[in-house]
Chains A and B, each alone.
Chain A
Amino acid sequence: MRLFGHPIHPPLTHFPIALWIASFACDLVGAAKGNAEWWTMGFWSAVAGLALALPTAVTGFLDYVTLPDRHPGERTACIHMATMLASTGLVLVEVLLRARPGIPFRPILVLVLSGAACVLLFLGGWLGATLVFRHGVGVER
C-alpha cells in the first residue's frame, strides 16, 4: 500500500515499536524506583502504541495479501505478521491488566508481558528488515 508513491507500512512501524520499547523502559524504571509517574508514562506509551498499531497492522496486512504469487519473501512475511500480531496481543493484555495509569496491581506480570512483547517486536522487526533488505518488498527497482 502506497501514499504518493511511498510505501506506508514501513514508516508506521516505527511508532508502535518505539512506544512499546519506551513503555517497557519506563516500567522498568518505575519498578526500580517505586515511582508511580514512570508507571503512568509506561501505561500511556503502551496505549498510544496500541492506537498506532491498528493502521500499521492494516497496511502491513494489505501489503502481505498483495505480494506477488510465489514471492520468495512470502513465508518470512507470514511469520513477521504472526510475530507482530502476537506482540500486539501481549501489549493489549498487559494494558488490560493495568486497567489504569499508575503502579499496577501485578507489576511483575506486567513487566514480564511487556518484556516478552519487546522480544517479539525485536524478532518481528528483524523479519521486517529481512523483507525489505533481502527480498526487496516495497522497493522500486
Chain B
Amino acid sequence: MGMLWASLACFAVAAAGGATLAMMYYGQQRRPMPLAVAHGVAATAGFFFLIFGFFRSGSSGLSALIVALFASAAIAGLLLLASHLRKRSWHPIGLVIHGLLAFLGLTLLFARIATENA
C-alpha cells in the first residue's frame, strides 16, 4: 500500500503542476519549462510507483483500468511534449483529453486506496 500512497502523492504534485500549466495556457501566458519538466517527472515517478504498487498489492480489474487511464494520459502528454519540442501549437482538445484522463485516473486511484483502507 505504501507504493500506492507514494504514487498518489506524486500524481497529486503532477496534477497541481498540470493545472497551473493549463491555466497559463488558457491565459495565453508563457509556460516555464522547469514547471513542465517537474510535472513530467512527478507523473513518471507516480506511474512507476503505481505499476510496482499494483504488482505488490495484487491487481484487479479496477487496477488495470487505473493503469489504462494513466497510460492513455501519458501518451497524450508525450504527444503534447513532442508538439512543444517541434514548436507546434497545442490542440486544445489534446490538452483537455490529457487532463480528463489523468483526473479520472487520480480519482479512481484515490477511491481504490480509500476502499482498501476502510
Contact = CB atoms under 8 A, between A and B. Distances in A.
Interface of A: 61, 64-65, 67, 69, 74, 78, 81-82, 85-86, 88-89, 92-93, 96-97, 99, 106
Contacts of A106: 61
Given A81-B82, A97-B61, 5 more contacts: A67-B86, A69-B87, A82-B75, A96-B64, A99-B58
15 contacts: A61-B78, A61-B82, A64-B82, A64-B86, A65-B85, A67-B86, A74-B86, A81-B78, A85-B74, A92-B71, A93-B71, A96-B51, A96-B54, A96-B64, A97-B64
B115 to A, nearest CB: 18
B22 interface: no
A78 B51 contact: no
B79 interface: yes
A85 B54 contact: no
A86 B76 CA distance: 10
Interface of B: 51, 54-55, 58-59, 61, 63-64, 67-68, 71-72, 74-75, 78-79, 82, 85-87
Main secondary structure of the interface of B (DSSP, over half): helix
A33 to B, nearest CB: 25
Main secondary structure of the interface of A (DSSP, over half): helix
A106 to B, nearest CB: 8
**Residue among A64, A74, A88, A93 with the most chain B CB within 10 A?**
A93
Contacts of B54: 96
A93 B82 CA distance: 24
Contact of B55 (A78, A82, A93, A99): A99
